Structure formats: structure tokens, C-alpha cells
Amino acid sequence: MRPSDAEAPAPPRSAATSDIVAREDTHTSGLYQKRRLAIVRGEGARLWDAEGNEYIDCVGGQGSANLGHGNAAVAEAIAAQARTLASCTELFYNDRRAELYSVLSRILPPDLDRVFLCNSGAEAVEAAFKFARMATKRTRIVATMRGFHGKTMGALAATWGPEYRDALGGDALFPGTAHVPFNKVEALEAAITPDTAAFVLELVQGEGGVRPATEEFAREAARVCKARGALLIVDEVQTGFCRTGAMFAIERYGIVPDALCLAKSIAGGVPMGAVAFSRAFGDLPKRSHSTTFGGNPLACAASVAAIGEMRRLDLARNARARGDQLLGGLRGIESPRVREVRGLGLLCGIELKESAGPTIKGLQDRGVLALGAGPTVVRYLPPLVITAEQVDRVVAATAAALA
């Protein structure tokens, strides 16, 4: 043994999966349905488990890893800001927050020139609902069937899933909330009334089964909201930040809502949410809403770096190209088990005629991590840095899993 070896740190060794699982299972809330896989490292669109097995990541942090794992510019920005100033509430002004507002204003529609910063998608939706109620002095929220907007109490009013709502009293808990059938244009006129504060819409329903809105539905929603004096809130928590092949899906649909909810990939994996909103909201009463961590310099620095990288790497273009490749590849799979292949950009799904579980497991066994979207849909949400060769492997693994 050389003398220095005694002081050298032990070589990095991953704890065995069973040890990680046992320790988590002892203390977890029990709320999450987990796969027995301990993920310990990532790079680009690849992940590794504690046993050293490599996977192509089509879970993408459920939408929070658009930029890919281990981005160096984001890592540097986080480290530098952590050393400089991590905490600074909106009691004060801050250089990083000011910089983020400027960066956001360059990628958002000019009308959405005010931003509330928070910490998650549900929190962005909650804030948008409060702002809409304060601005319109109306209380009703209209949402869509199969829509997903988060699981906190207010956001849950708009989220469709009866499995999330029924134990809490269902519609009785959220009086005045209505859900219209998604993409049913005729339903909008009747549902959005002079009592409606806001209509909330995903342009591609993510959790609800990877269902793109029709352009007609999106445009008609905007028209009816305007006619009734209701505010249009587009929830781009999952579709935002290049996922659908544009910085925001509203660009692909040619609409500008009154408010845009953002989160997931906004800060390169650091928790952050945002509501960008227009002057239609008027002046919101001071102190009527706030959050301690909102606009903290650490998340702002991460977001500035992440958005810079999305533009430098032209992730919108890659999402379009790789999305077309993935959708084309999946559509080319001939299997009697497939009902339909849907998607926009790199938000893709296969609806099966059976439960999606076995196919997701089959993909995992072949080195591809994918996720569900409702009981029968396999959803692909890879980091947008995924390569053509990796997409080919995902398609091949899917064909094998469905064979």
C-alpha cells in the first residue's frame, strides 16, 4: 500500500439497490407507486441504476429534464450562485431575478409581460386561479375532462381524475367547477358563462393520455373566453420549454392566452414554477399572494442557464426532428395490440387495447424507461437532447416489447 492510499477517499461505489429500497420503504409517505429500480446517475438522455445498468430515459423526470441530465452550464450556474447568494425573498430586488425576467420576456409573447415566480406546477396553477378570481370577481373555473393541473387542493378542482378527487368529496369540494369534453368545440359556448373566472387548458394533455388539442378547439376557447369576459389560462407545465417543438406550444397553435402556467423544465431540474400573465389581470392587490422561495436567486440562476442552453442547443428543432422520427417509428410498428399513436414534438404516446403496464415493464427489461399516461397509454417524454440513434433503439425496444 502506498502511503497516500490511507487518506484517499474510497472509490465511488453505488449502494446496492436492496439497501436503497429498504431505507426508502421504511420512511416513505407511501403515496408513490415505485418501480424497484434505484436511479443514481444521468448524462444526456441516459440513466444508470445502482447496479450499473444503463437505460435510455423516456421518463425525463416526468417532464422536468428537457435539457438532459448533467448539463454542465446549469451545474456551473447553480454552483456559482450557491456560493454567491442562494436566498433572497421578494422583499428585496435581486440581480439574478431581474435577469430571469428579461430572459423570459424574450421568449414569451409580448402581452404576457408580468411573471409570478413560484416552486412547482400545481403552485403556478393555484396562483393563476387566484389571480383570475381576483381580477374578474367571478368564482367559476372551467377545465377539460382528462385534464391534469396538479394535486394540491385548488389545482385539484381543475384536475379531472376522479381517483384523485372522490376521496375528498369530488365536485362537492369544488363548487362551481365544470369540466367540458376535450376537443368538443360545441361544449365551450354553454360551459363558459358570464360567471366564469377562467378556462384552463393543456394544449397537449400529458397525464390524461397524450392527447393534442385540435387547433379549432384552442382557437374557439380563446374566442369564447374573450366574448364572455373569462380569462384563458393555458397550462404549459408539461408542454413548455421546447417539448412540443417550439419554446411553448401556444406558438404551434397560434394563440396567446391571458395567463401561461410553467414549471417542470423551467430551471434545468431545479424546482421552480411561474405564471406569466397579461394586463387583462389589472393590478393584483399587494400581498394577496406570495411564497417564500418564489424567485430565489438559486432557481433563477438555474433557469437563466437552462433557457440559454435550450436556445444554444436549439432543442425546439431537435424536439421536432426526433419527435417526427419517434412518432414515425412507433406508427410503423405493426401490432394488433396498438390502438393509436399520438403526439406533438417529443411528447409521444401509444394507446394500447390493453393495460400499458406490461409494455412499460417490457421496455424497462430492454433498457428503455418509459411512463404511463392513464391505464392504456405508454408515454415517451425523453430529454430533448436524445439522439437519432437513441430514438432508433427506443423504437426497436418498443417493437420487441409489443411483439
Ligand X SMILES: *Cc1c(COP(=O)(O)O)cnc(C)c1O
Shortest distance (Å) from residue 32 CB to ligand X = 12
Cβ-contact 65, 270 below 8 angstroms: no
d(CA 52, CA 54): 6
Best CA proximity match to 269, nearest among 60, 30, 49, 55: 60
Q: Which three cell numbers stand for residue 354?
A: 390493453
d(CA 316, CA 93): 32
Residues in region 122-181 near ligand X by CB under 6 A = 122, 125, 148-150
Shortest distance (Å) from residue 236 CB to ligand X = 7
Strands (E), 114-227: 114-118, 140-144, 178-180, 196-201, 204-205, 211-212
Shortest distance (Å) from residue 148 CB to ligand X = 5
Best CA proximity match to 181, nearest among 210, 155, 201: 201
Shortest distance (Å) from residue 107 CB to ligand X = 19
Does the protein bind ligand X through residue 278 (CB under 6 A)? no
Cβ-contact 249, 217 below 8 angstroms: no
96 vs 379 by CB, closer to ligand X? 379
Residue recorded with cell 381524475: 161
49 vs 202 by CB, closer to ligand X? 202
Does the protein bind ligand X through residue 237 (CB under 6 A)? yes
Of 66, 120, 196, 265, the one binding ligand X by CB under 6 A: 120
Helix then strand count (H, E) for the chain reads 13, 17
Residue recorded with cell 401561461: 260
Q: Which three cell numbers stand for residue 226?
A: 374573450
Shortest distance (Å) from residue 220 CB to ligand X = 20
The CA-to-CA distance between both ends of the chain, in Å, stands at: 54
Q: Binding marks (x or -) toward ligand X, 246..265, rule CB under 6 A?
A: -----------------x--
Q: What burial letters (b/e) apply to 284-320, b meaning 16+ CB within 10 Å?
A: beeeebebebbbbbbbbbbbbbbbebbeebebbebbb
d(CA 330, CA 325): 9
Of the candidate spans 85-93, 201-209, 364-372, 379-387, the one that interacts with ligand X by CB under 6 A turns out to be: 201-209
Q: How many residues bind ligand X (CB under 6 A)?
A: 15
Shortest distance (Å) from residue 263 CB to ligand X = 5
Of 202, 220, 309, 351, the one binding ligand X by CB under 6 A: 202
d(CA 231, CA 338): 38
Shortest distance (Å) from residue 125 CB to ligand X = 6
Shortest distance (Å) from residue 132 CB to ligand X = 16
Residue recorded with cell 394507446: 351
Shortest distance (Å) from residue 151 CB to ligand X = 7
Of the candidate spans 85-93, 117-125, 302-310, 327-335, the one that interacts with ligand X by CB under 6 A turns out to be: 117-125
Shortest distance (Å) from residue 206 CB to ligand X = 5
Does the protein bind ligand X through residue 66 (CB under 6 A)? no
Of 121, 323, 343, 383, the one binding ligand X by CB under 6 A: 121
- At 26, which helix (H) or strand (E)? helix 17-27
350 vs 371 by CB, closer to ligand X? 371
50 vs 310 by CB, closer to ligand X? 310
d(CA 285, CA 273): 21
206 vs 268 by CB, closer to ligand X? 206
d(CA 190, CA 219): 16
148 vs 281 by CB, closer to ligand X? 148
Of 49, 57, 220, 235, the one binding ligand X by CB under 6 A: 235
Q: Give the interface with ligand X as residue ranges (CB under 6 A).
A: 63, 120-122, 125, 148-150, 202, 206-207, 235, 237-238, 263
